Structure 1
């Protein structure tokens, strides 16, 4: 809740990652998807490194997002959040395929007010229909009952197609679509447009304008994003959209400042109330700032 001493954020970056590859930090987190095949990302990235760029961009608040399917990383993100110089929230991980374990993990972290959402690396799951499993549905209902959101890394068409089913199954659960479902910005957007519209038709789904640099022509600018962003605005409306920088993954395509500015440029044609919703209003509501 904002007060005179703590005004509501004007710019919220809803998608920031940090990871420690020098022993995994105090909780010993490991990141199996990182390795020599990703040399730019295969090093430690701490919030201290990003803070000056957040300051320069005028970002008032952030959401730290999980990058490992482990409770250890959830606890690490909560630890980092506690030391952040700006308001921060956490999208962590919980064992959603076990409702009892999910409830127990939430009880064990009942004082962790920063934990407001949960994500699972569904795009790395061997089971392509993990999202639709009945055991996972039971875990998601625990989230819904606790007032937490679920973030879907629906980076493939088959996963994006499952988002409406999840949203209908849990009408009291906010489902956050990461990276606009990764539109194929160098190819045909037709099928993606259909799938995004179907997701947006469910009122409890919101989406992030994030992760677009890595699917853009290189070098990219807001022009490369405009068709996809305009479609997202049309089907979701601004009060269900938010900005995310996707640092440090975004560095594969461009600097933080270039990526963040491209997002702002892509919504520059909207009126001020719409821009304000995407810059911070939606995120403040979803992530409880």
Structure 2
């Protein structure tokens, strides 16, 4: 099984201002040595994802990957305000780099940024031309704009992180989320990452709180366009890694073995070229 969404960091308040509020328990170093003892045997690879907007982050994750064979790929950071071509050239011969992500959710107006920021859109176009993934990090409120963004950028694979961080525990919120997912599902280059849900659900959430979301994701996208990620250590603020695996087992209890394996191994193998 591939865990397609893991972060590692050496913590400083200045570099990780988003670690606040109910995440203060992870305001400390969170390193491979803290995660690896918790991993079940079935986890055979990790995709590490940028957690701070800096070139130092890319160097740090690459150094970790050189030391830890379980790290199979990196979703790195790219500075869209600077020359994208020269940045991509730096990564051209590094097979560990599978794609890039911008912390889009932290922009003042993520929808406007997606649709109207010229350098950002030019950069995503060049990422796709290089046949590298782009990870779309948004909340549900920005899903309508993400549909238009994904329609515009259709030259290579896109991955929506955390099922677009759905608004939990309201029927209207779920119906709105589902309607947007139906539009995204019409775009064959758009994939979903089943990750980060416990952060949206809160410390008391149970697997059943997300079952409808999982059922819709499978119905609309099929297992061929879904991957699973723990979002450790962000998820660790509320749930242990063991609990996340328990949730996964409960969500997929009625699936065939081939359906489960497609998400656990098949789709990440395709998207991350493993």
Q: Using structure 1 for the length normalisation, give the TM-score.
A: 0.88
Tell me the residue number matched to 1:192.
177
Cα shift readout 1:175-219 (whole Å, capped 9, x = no counterpart): 100110112232221111111111111110000111111222643
Tell me the residue number matched to 1:68.
52
Q: Between Structure 1 and Structure 2, which shows a larger proportion of helix residues?
A: 2
Tell me the residue number matched to 2:146.
163
Contact 2:202 2:238 in 1 (8 A): no
Tell me the residue number matched to 1:151.
135
1:79 aligned onto 2:69: no
1:224 aligned onto 2:224: no
1:16 aligned onto 2:16: no
Contact 2:22 2:237 in 1 (8 A): no
1:121 aligned onto 2:103: yes
Tell me the residue number matched to 1:41.
26
Gaps in structure 2 of 5+ consecutive residues: none
Cα shift readout 1:95-153 (whole Å, capped 9, x = no counterpart): 1344xx22111212333211111111111112332112222111011101111111011
Tell me the residue number matched to 1:110.
92
Which whole-Å CA distance do the structure 2 matches of 1:77 and 1:224 have between them? 33
Tell me the residue number matched to 1:209.
194
2:72 corresponds to which of 88, 92, 98: 88
Which whole-Å CA distance do the structure 1 matches of 2:218 and 2:264 have between them? 13
Tell me the residue number matched to 1:7.
none
Q: Using structure 2 for the length normalisation, give the TM-score.
A: 0.92
